[in-house]
Amino acid sequence: MLSTTRIVLHRLMQARQSTKLLQSARWYGEFNVNLPLAQPSVDMNMGIPVKGEKILATYVWIDGTGENMREKTRTLKKDPGGVQNYPRWSFDGSSTYQASKGENSDMILVPAAIYPDPFFGGNHKLVLCEVLDAQGQPAATNHRHKCKEVMDKIDHTVPWFGMEQEYLFLDRDGHPLGWPKFGFPKPQGPYYCAVGGDRIFGREIVNTHYRASLYAGLALFGINSEVTPGQWEYQLGECRGIEMGDQLWMSRYLLHRVAEQFGVTVTFHPKPAITRGNWNGAGAHCNFSTEEMRSEGGIKAIEAAMPKLEATHKECIRVYDPHDGEDNKYRLTGKHETSSYDKFNWGVANRAASVRLPRSVALNKKGYLEDRRPSSNCDPYQVTRMIAESLQYVYKHHSGVLNSEKFGAYVPDHKEGVRLPVLSFRCGCSVLVRQCEA
């Protein structure tokens, strides 16, 4: 017994000495994750056929976190056709942070968009849903409902959106994929758009997600590795109106599902704790244009949009991540290709700006603007709605309702700390009014 105790104490001393050496030395650890990932760990027996006209419909929704997604699958006797023909369903909201424990916890799933299912294949479908509470009202994290109202009202402007979704792969221990367990990778520089086993981690997942997204009919435009090792980006769009939010949420769902089969997790947090040193964060830049902006001389409409976006900067920051802007504070520091959290600026080809105009837009005098403020874990319904409201509608300030022109009215910056309540439609007209708290 005594000898066993001595052995344990000796090993503890060795571990302590090793830790001190690691802490005192400046070094870069070796990559020690089992790479490449190669084949998915599970094939789910997808070769088993489903006979007859039956289809498997996987209902997908956003849970009470406003970030994570849930799903469950049901059998339908045959393909119902349009999304309006898919039946509503219910689930236990007390287990998804969407209802209190106990009575009346049923939440309602309302089909909103359907996509071919790349996992079950065949004629099976993924069904993106809105969530209603027991009273039939939109759930707290159902921002699609309000976004759809706004997009319907501005559809005559032919609004196009595109989003650039960044994310970071983690192993099941929550450690960035490819990073050494002790120490850090070599500094940023060799990882962006890179090739090579010492700088690229997770390409198998990325390529599978790419193909799955195209199979599902999503407008996935491209992919690339990002500045931080283990970080990737895909571009989605262009999408008209509400389709932007629908497709981005479905693309996130597909990414989680694909990564799951490789035994890897995905984080959309803009700046996980381990990357808060000299590493780039993750965003979801949003590109936007109207038909007028894309037409000859459209640069005038684009430039006219800048004071409108500046006027709503604080409100944009608040809704551009699911935690009232708190997540984005870690990312929008004015460093690592980001703008400042509390200041609005814009410029041509300026990646340190809140809003960037690509060089091609300045040269061609038409095109689109890029809002670089949204966090990677943003709700795209919130982002696209806020951009549309900022540019298209009247805002009511302390001095009263300002005159509205085609792209809305300029509003002075709001007082520090003032939050704006939920928008409401007035008199059934097409003008949205936002009332500031005094």
What does the pLDDT profile of the chain (438 residues) look like in tens digits? Answer: 545 555 544 554 544 444 443 333 333 444 444 555 656 655 667 778 888 999 999 999 999 999 999 999 999 999 999 999 999 999 999 999 999 877 789 999 999 999 999 999 999 999 999 999 999 999 999 999 999 999 999 999 999 999 999 999 999 889 999 999 888 999 999 999 999 999 999 999 999 999 999 999 999 999 999 999 999 999 999 999 999 999 999 999 999 999 999 999 999 999 999 888 889 999 999 999 999 999 999 999 999 999 999 999 999 999 999 999 999 998 988 787 788 888 999 999 988 899 999 999 999 999 999 999 999 999 999 999 999 999 874 333 323 333 333 333 333 333 333 333 333 222 222 222 233 332
Interaxial angle between packed helices 243-261 and 203-215, expressed in degrees from 0 to 180 and rounded to the nearest 10: 130
Q: Is the peptide bond before 71 cis (omega within 30 degrees of 0)?
A: no
What is residue 299's predicted lDDT score, i.e. its pLDDT? 96
Q: In this structure, which amino acid lies at residue 432? A: L
Q: Answer yes or no: are the C-beta atoms of 218 and 199 closer than 8 Å.
A: no
CA atoms within 13 A on the CB side of 247: 27
Domain ranges for the chain, please list them.
Answer: 55-139, 153-392
**Residues 1-33, buried b or exposed e (16+ Cβ, 10 A)?**
eeeeeeeeeeeeeeeeeeeeeeeeeeeeeebeb
What is residue 396's predicted lDDT score, i.e. its pLDDT? 34
Please state, in angstroms and rounded to a whole number, the distance separating the CA atoms of residues 199 and 36.
12
Please state, in angstroms and rounded to a whole number, the distance separating the CA atoms of residues 229 and 197.
11
H or E stretch including 119? none
CATH T-level topology, domain 153-392: Creatine Kinase; Chain A, domain 2 (3.30.590)
Please state, in angstroms and rounded to a whole number, the distance separating the CA atoms of residues 252 and 235.
12
What is residue 182's predicted lDDT score, i.e. its pLDDT? 86
What is residue 48's predicted lDDT score, i.e. its pLDDT? 86
What is residue 38's predicted lDDT score, i.e. its pLDDT? 59
Contacts of 87 (CB under 8 A, 6+ apart): 76, 80, 111
Dihedral of CA 60/112/140/95: which sign? negative
What is residue 8's predicted lDDT score, i.e. its pLDDT? 46
What is residue 382's predicted lDDT score, i.e. its pLDDT? 98
Task: Tell which phi-psi region holds residue 5, choosing left (phi > 0), alpha (psi between -120 and 50) or beta.
Answer: alpha
Give the start-end residues of each E strand in 93-230. 106-116, 125-132, 160-170, 220-225
**Alpha helices, DSSP H only, in 312-410?**
313-319, 359-364, 380-392
What is residue 57's predicted lDDT score, i.e. its pLDDT? 99
Q: What is the pTM of this model?
A: 0.83
Q: Measured between alpha carbons, how far is residue 257 from residues 90, 104, 289 in Å?
A: 22, 31, 32
What is residue 46's predicted lDDT score, i.e. its pLDDT? 74
CATH T-level topology, domain 55-139: Ubiquitin-like (UB roll) (3.10.20)
Q: Answer yes or no: are the C-beta atoms of 302 and 387 closer than 8 Å.
A: no
Q: Is the peptide bond before 36 cis (omega within 30 degrees of 0)?
A: yes
